[in-house]
Chain A
């Protein structure tokens, strides 16, 4: 596969990388594979997820010596944040039932502290790769930081929100990667997402990664079929025929978009092991391999 242009690779190698996109496009696996590639280059890397209900809260080492995972949870992040802001007062502050309730009920504080956590962590790592929640909720997180900056016109939260937004907009510090699939709805949503990210951070353009592409390995592109497929072969062909048309939607709407396609990862073993963790491992390693071919 061809090497990706330098600008694309450079976005992936920034200190902080937000991996966004619609649900189910493979953000978790892609972001983890990127983190793995960066750590393979000898960098200290943190892969961050937000409140993943399936893994414990907190930080663990994964894979190699230089690769860590943090599953950020809001109330814990809130206490930490309050500790940083207020020092000795923090305990008094967060144990205060009123403040606790306000933090729970006020929409937005949750999102603010989650993003605040990765923002703080970035100073301690060469790279922090963030697996963002799916489109709407992910955008809500950035939106919240902006809301808080406007609501609190002075004080430490205002100051931190301001600094966070400045970091997220700074193209020398933060990268935004949108993961999508070569299917119409995910492609259209990725454009919508890019539009919102652009309005939030106009100085920092996003890169697109189209996951699970197959069409280049077919003899002819051909005209997309209209009849519903009857067999697996027809299904695959139908999907591949639509790929180029779908990806073209991005190019038409966003001339000069930084866009890369990666193929479908297939492990060499065709037999199902029955062990989902192992399979997961292999898929991450496989995607990391595809990214390595791109020059990452």
Chain B
């Protein structure tokens, strides 16, 4: 396999359960080993990365994992493995954005004055926007990505995204938000909020109020009118993220596994990425089993155990045999779909399944060295 080339931004997409968090973190470790100042950002609400890195809590500020990495390298050296020396490696940082505080900061820094920011933040609608699971995480991770990518502190940034059904929503989110400002209805309402509403709008809002109960329409108007006051700044920020993700610097990598269920979804994702003109870097096939071939010794042991009433190994090997055959097929299908890609040839990499989940830096280091 050729050595991976580390770009400034790597966005990792994929369906749930394929190990995106582990792959993102391993790639960040690999980049650090190659001398880069690397950062991994996760927006996964299940907070998996923290577990992966063996640290209890990740904050909004990047945590420096370089000392941990150096310790893992020292341990590997002590086991007699050949690993890069401390002087040749870069740095490793990890970050999990806190949606609520970031959203607040975004409104505060975009507002023309503190009064407008206050009107937004104290509105009940803001509380929903900022609640941890409502998608604010996605909006905010993009904002954070932009902020850290322009900070000059990192050479390579790895963005772990939520499972693909929401990954696509995540990519479309800033545009959708930006489109609200172009909505003529909204402009009319807000333009006329201090005068008499036109009959049509009045009727529409009356209907809305019927559904939402009294008070909500008032809050909504208040919130959107405040939002409009910071429209310019807000759109500029969203546009910057859009530009960044579409730039030469940003590469999208698909993480998938050799399961039949994963293949159609993987195809769907790669096609959508291409349609939306993001740069498609290639595929990481995670949790592969091809490095664990079925040996004669395995079969012999399985036969003996089965005779004494324990079919587990035999069953497991039968299962492995099928999985290995499936893996070969999935790999061929993936390679085939990649070969039809126009433009730069996408890369293809494999990472083996671990019997135990990767949850220490040692595990990530092992995976990173296989990339």
**Sample (15) of A-B pairs whose CB atoms are under 8 Å apart:** A24-B257, A53-B268, A93-B211, A97-B183, A99-B208, A107-B136, A133-B166, A137-B166, A144-B133, A154-B215, A225-B355, A232-B321, A235-B292, A239-B355, A276-B263
Q: Decide: B129 and A107 in contact? CB cutoff 8 A.
A: yes
Task: Count chain A CB atoms within 10 A of each CB in B46, B134, B289, B315 and give the residue with the most.
Answer: B46
- Residue A115 is within 8 A (CB to CB) of chain B in the complex: no
- Residue B17 is within 8 A (CB to CB) of chain A in the complex: yes
Instruction: Name which of B3-11, B66-74, B296-304 contacts chain A.
Output: B296-304
Q: Decide: B45 and A231 in contact? CB cutoff 8 A.
A: no
Interface of B is mostly: helix
A98-139 near B? 1/0 per residue, CB < 8 Å = 110110111110000000000000000000000001111101
Q: Decide: B207 and A89 in contact? CB cutoff 8 A.
A: yes
Q: How far is the CA of A159 from the CA of B201 in the complex (A)?
A: 25
Q: How far is the CA of A279 from the CA of B330 in the complex (A)?
A: 14
Give chain B residues whose Cβ lies under 8 Å from the Cβ of A99: 204, 207-208
Residue in B133, B295, B319 whose beta carbon sits within 8 Å of that of A231 in the complex: B295
Task: Tell me the minimal C-beta distance from B275 to chain A in angstroms.
Answer: 14
A249-275 near B? 1/0 per residue, CB < 8 Å = 000000000000000101000101010
Measuring CB to CB, which residues of chain B are less than 8 angstroms from any residue of chain A? 15-18, 44-48, 51, 124-125, 127-129, 131-136, 162-163, 165-166, 176-177, 179-180, 183-186, 189, 201, 204, 207-216, 220, 257, 259-261, 263-265, 268, 289, 292-295, 297-299, 301-302, 305, 308, 310-313, 315-322, 324-326, 329, 353-357, 359, 366
- Residue A147 is within 8 A (CB to CB) of chain B in the complex: yes
Q: Decide: A231 and B162 in contact? CB cutoff 8 A.
A: no
Q: Decide: B216 and A25 in contact? CB cutoff 8 A.
A: no
- Residue A63 is within 8 A (CB to CB) of chain B in the complex: no
Q: How far is the CA of A240 from the CA of B320 in the complex (A)?
A: 13
Residue in B162, B268, B312 whose beta carbon sits within 8 Å of that of A54 in the complex: B268
- Residue A156 is within 8 A (CB to CB) of chain B in the complex: yes
Q: Decide: A233 and B298 in contact? CB cutoff 8 A.
A: yes
Q: How far is the CA of A255 from the CA of B317 in the complex (A)?
A: 34
Q: Decide: B135 and A218 in contact? CB cutoff 8 A.
A: no
Q: Decide: B44 and A231 in contact? CB cutoff 8 A.
A: no
Closest chain B residue, CB of each to CB of A233:
B298
Q: Decide: B318 and A270 in contact? CB cutoff 8 A.
A: yes
Task: Tell me the minimal C-beta distance from A245 to chain B in angstroms.
Answer: 9
Residue in B45, B128, B295 whose beta carbon sits within 8 Å of that of A233 in the complex: B295
Q: Decide: A54 and B264 in contact? CB cutoff 8 A.
A: yes
Give chain B residues whose Cβ lies under 8 Å from the Cβ of A199: none
Q: Decide: B135 and A270 in contact? CB cutoff 8 A.
A: no
Q: Decide: A232 and B211 in contact? CB cutoff 8 A.
A: no
Q: How far is the CA of A166 from the CA of B211 in the complex (A)?
A: 20
Q: How far is the CA of A239 from the CA of B299 in the complex (A)?
A: 17
Q: Decide: B302 and A107 in contact? CB cutoff 8 A.
A: no
Q: How far is the CA of A144 from the CA of B316 in the complex (A)?
A: 42
